[in-house]
Structures are given as structure tokens and as C-alpha cells.
Amino acid sequence: MYDHSLFSRKVGGIFIAVILLLGTLLIPGKEAAADSPGNDPYIRQEWNITVPGYLGNLKMSANGLLYVISSEDHEAGTLYAITKDGKIVWQRYLSLASRTPTIDDSAKRIYVADGALRALDAATGELLWSFAPPNDKTTGVPTVDHDVIYAVSNLTGTVYAVDREGKLLWKDQMTEDGVLSPVAVSSSGITVVLRTVQRVEVDAKDPLAYQIYQEDGSIKSYVDISTLHAFDQDGFPLWQTELRGMGVLREAPLAIDGGFAVGGEAFYIVSDKGQMLYKPETISPSNPGQTRLIDGVLYYPSGNQIESFDMTGKRLKTIHTGGVAGNAVKDSAGRIVFWQEFGRILMVNQDGSWRILLTPDSGYPSGSLVLDEGGTYFTVYSGQSSGHIIAFKDTSVKQPQANKGLTLLLDGQPLRLSIEPVVARGRLYLPMRELFTALGATVNYDVRSRTITAKRGSTVITLTIGKLQAVVNGRSVTLDAPGKLLNGHMMVPLRFVGESFGYTVSWDQDEQTIQIAS
């Protein structure tokens, strides 16, 4: 959860030296749940895996596998794939480790950038292809958007876009000055990347400045100057806007409806046309966590609290956390759960009271919290020479039975999807390719225009992601809900697609079942 560059301001080279000395002495191992029962009597720790090195952000795929990268010397590292019951199914050495692997559920792949951009089989770790730009290295966290994968180089200041076969689509070299964030892509197809130039000296009265003591005892004030660069689908520059005080961003800006939330040491909301919707009054230089979008609300960790906003930049409320906090999730009862800097996992109840769920025996939070539909939490923390991946459950919460909330039937038979349906603003969205295939339609997707063309028999549907206008057999139709990019997947509204192809779509409230009938 902590950014290495931020952490090094506080600790310096001692931590790195310890890892270099001890990191190779450990081998992965699994501890029994009973060894660390946790502080709260209702918390049951399921398992704890120990691996060498410092752990980054944990990710979970649609099929339930967990992926995390351990950096053993702040250069090389290992990517682990772990089942939800705590078994390492494969691991792969990375010559240059990033903090976070990228999951592509639709193609069942994992993307990493360790000098080259690599596509791996999500189930086995097998290398499918590599993209290695001449005289350059791709690093950081790749981004996948539909059929395009993005990677950046901080060696040359270049953004690369490749297709699913690893072939270059376009590249844009901005500048060698500064550090690039991973790429983010909005639902309207706008691609952005943040470029940060560190430590520009400013007046001490600047509200976004931080102070550093000099060797002669004096104090100088600095601000990190960042620029958000926007491109179209072909890599053509559209606009750029300055975001002061951000610091280096190791994770991608967060794509939201109509724009982007950019949260690091400062917090901004920018529209996809480059207009500033929210800008900060001060910075949070110890901010360890990432901005989260939960149920349409943005949660930004700032100092000893978490600020919440709507997507237009309106501040909603402040959650007091008693310490630097980050990486929030919300449980089934609507309570916020997060890591705190003191190495505790806390829950804030709806009345504002706190509950300490878990305090690991040693170490500090180093990555994200993940909560699955069954109520199991997965997270990571790191000590001086090892990292821990843990799973625990809050037994005080009555969990819904798996798949009890919603059943999909196609002509009376269960419709099984690798990507879970999403309910957004009263509309049910299903993954594009799986839905069209299940309905017996052929589908083509134009990456440049973000246009979907599907055909079943004599019926042809054309719709564009993010647009309310669609075309059915040459006739213009206005949708009540457009196709969307949701949780990194291309999703389309079930009712419109089903009824356009002649199916009836009905909802059984008592049985929580959706019937699709031909």
C-alpha cells in the first residue's frame, strides 16, 4: 500500500539493505489459520502464506485466482497465482518487478511489464507473447481496455499501445523528463497518463508544498508538478492539464463516468474534456492508499481520514480513521474496511464507531484489500524480509449464499458467465462477447470507434460504448442505458440486446431470477 518512493523518504537505505541480505533466505510457506486468530473474536483467519520480499497490490480474477507480485530486491521479483483456499498454483520470475499485475478476464490473461510487456496464460503462467520496444524498456502496471493493452516507459517517456497479439498500434513519446503513471481509459475512449516532475522549489506559503531540511539546517519548500496528458484512440494528443502536488503515481488514474479521479498526495477530479471538477486545498504527503470507487462514491485517503466525493467533485462526508489509512472496501452490511498505518485492519460502522478486525503479528500494510462475494477478505502485508498473503472472514456478518442474489436462465437453462453481471442505475449489464455468443449472434468490435456490430439471423445491431444511440436493422434507436466499460470489462444492457434479437426478458422478483426466452 505504501509507495516505495514515499517510504524511502522516511526509512532510507537501511530497509533495502536488510531485504538484500535476508530476502533470499526465505521460501514460500503456508501457516495454519489457528496460529494468528486476529484481535476480534468474530474474525477467523483462513490461511497465511509467507513469501520472500515486499508485496505489492493483490488482484483477483473472475475465476477466483489471486495474483500478487513480490519484489525481492526492489528490482527483480516473482509473480504468484494463488487459489482462494491458499494454494500457490504457479509462480513466475520477473526481471523487473512492478507493484501490480493486470488481469484480462475476457482473454484469460495476465499482463506484466518487466522491461518487456508480457502476456501470460492466467491459469498456467505460460508466456503467450512479449512486446519489447527497440532500445527501450516498459515498466510499471500495464492497462487493458477492450482489445488494446497499454504500457509505459520511464526510460524514454513513451506510451505504447499494442493489440492482443502483441503488435504495436501506436506510440507517443512525450518527454524524457518526469515519471509516467500507468494509463487509464474512460468509457468514451479518452486515454490519459500522468507525468510527474518531482521537487520543483516554490515559496513556503504554497499550500501544496512540502518542506525538506537541508544539510546546512535551512528548510526549502518543494512541490511536485504533474501534467495529465490525454489522447484519442489513435494516440493523437487531445489536451493536457496541470495537477500540482500529486507526487509520483504508481497506479493508474481512476476512470469514472465522464472523466477521471486522480488520487496520490493530492486529489483531483478531471472531466474527459480536461475540465477541473475538483482540486485540492492541501496535500497528504503520507498518503499510502489508492482512491476507490464503491457504489458510485469515490473514497480518497487523506491524512487521518478518508474523504468521499461524488463523481462531479461534490464532497460528501469525512470518515475519521485515527491514522493514515487507505485501500478501502465496503462489506455487505455497508461498512467501510481499510488498512491503517499502524498495521491494523479497521472497520468503520455506520454510526462512525470503529472496530479493529485484525492486527498482524509483525509488518505493515503493503497492498490492497480484496473482498469476495462470499465475505472473505484477502490482503497482504510486508515485514523486513518477507511478505504475507492472508485470508480472513468476519463471522459476525451473515453472508448471502453464493449466486442467491441473481439467477440467469436462457430458455430454462442456467446461463453461466465468466464475468459477473453488473447492476448499474437500475439496469443489468452482461459481458458483451459472452452475451452475444449465448444468444447465437456473431459479434465484431471496432477498437478505434468503440463500436459493436452483432448479427443474428437477419437482425443486425450496432451500438457504441458510452452512446445512447444504437441502430437496429438500419433504424435508429435511443437506449435508456448505453453500453459501458464496467470494472474493466465491456458490458452491454441485457434487455435491449435480448429484445432486439427477438427474445423476451422477464424478471421474477420472488425468485430473484431473470428469464431470457426465445
Q: What is the pLDDT of residues 211-265, one digit of tens each?
A: 888 888 889 999 888 999 999 988 999 999 999 988 888 889 998 878 999 988 8
In sequence order, the 6+-apart residues with CB closer than 8 A to the CB of 216 are none
Distance (Å, whole) CA 228 – CA 151: 16
Cα–Cα separations (whole angstroms), residue 230 to 214, 269, 449, 484:
37, 14, 17, 20
For residue 251, tell me if it sits in a domain. Answer: no
Q: For residue 497, give the CATH number of its domain.
A: 3.30.457.10
For residue 219, tell me if it sits in a domain. Answer: no
Q: Give the residues of the chain that fall short of pLDDT 70.
A: 1-39, 176, 285-289, 398-405, 424-426, 447-448, 486-488
Distance (Å, whole) CA 370 – CA 59: 7
Instruction: List the Cα angle 101/104/108 in 5-degree steps.
Output: 110
Per-residue H/E/C for 186-202 = CCCCCEEEEEEEEEEEE
Distance (Å, whole) CA 128 – CA 13: 37
Which 3 state secondary structure label does DSSP give 310? coil
When divided into structural domains, the chain yields a total of 1
Phi/psi for 293 (5° steps) reads: -110, 110
| 404 alpha-carbon distance from chain centroid | 26
Distance (Å, whole) CA 386 – CA 99: 15
Parallel, antiparallel, or unpaired for β 489-493 and 484-486? Answer: antiparallel
DSSP conformational letter for 512: T
Cα–Cα separations (whole angstroms), residue 88 to 66, 79, 269, 382, 396:
9, 10, 39, 18, 29
Residues making up the chain, counted from first to last:
518
Using left for φ > 0, alpha for ψ between -120 and 50, and beta otherwise, residue 375 falls in: left
Tell me which residue of 163, 165, 159, 164 sits closest to 184, measured CA to CA: 159
Phi/psi for 131 (5° steps) reads: -120, 110
Helix (H) or strand (E) holding 497: helix 494-500
Distance (Å, whole) CA 150 – CA 252: 11
Distance (Å, whole) CA 43 – CA 390: 12
For residue 460, tell me if it sits in a domain. Answer: yes
Residue listed under C-alpha cell 503513471: 181
What range defines the domain where residue 499 resides? Answer: 407-517
Contacts 24+ apart (CB under 8 A), 236-239: 237/172, 238/190, 238/274, 239/273, 239/274
Phi/psi for 85 (5° steps) reads: -100, 15
Q: How many CB atoms lie within 10 A of CB 353?
A: 8
Task: Kindly report the pTM of this predicted structure.
Answer: 0.73
Q: What is the pLDDT of residue 21?
A: 37
CB 197 within 8 A of CB 246: no
Cell of 500: 432486439
For residue 90, tell me if it sits in a domain. Answer: no
Residue type, 277: L
Spell out a b/e string for 422-445, using b for 16 or more CB atoms within 10 Å of the CB, else e. eeeeebbbbbbbbbbebbebebeb
Q: Is the Cα torsion angle 83, 88, 89, 90 positive or negative in sign?
A: positive
For residue 18, tell me if it sits in a domain. Answer: no
CB 112 within 8 A of CB 79: yes
For residue 452, tell me if it sits in a domain. Answer: yes
Cell of 407: 439467477
Distance (Å, whole) CA 510 – CA 504: 19
Q: How many CB atoms lie within 10 A of CB 483?
A: 25
Burial of 151 (0-12, 13-18, 19+ CB in 10 A): buried
Residue listed under C-alpha cell 441485457: 494
For residue 275, tell me if it sits in a domain. Answer: no
Distance (Å, whole) CA 22 – CA 400: 43
Tell me which residue of 40, 66, 64, 38 sits closest to 51, measured CA to CA: 66
For residue 258, tell me if it sits in a domain. Answer: no
Helix (H) or strand (E) holding 11: helix 4-11
Distance (Å, whole) CA 55 – CA 68: 7
CB 78 within 8 A of CB 72: yes
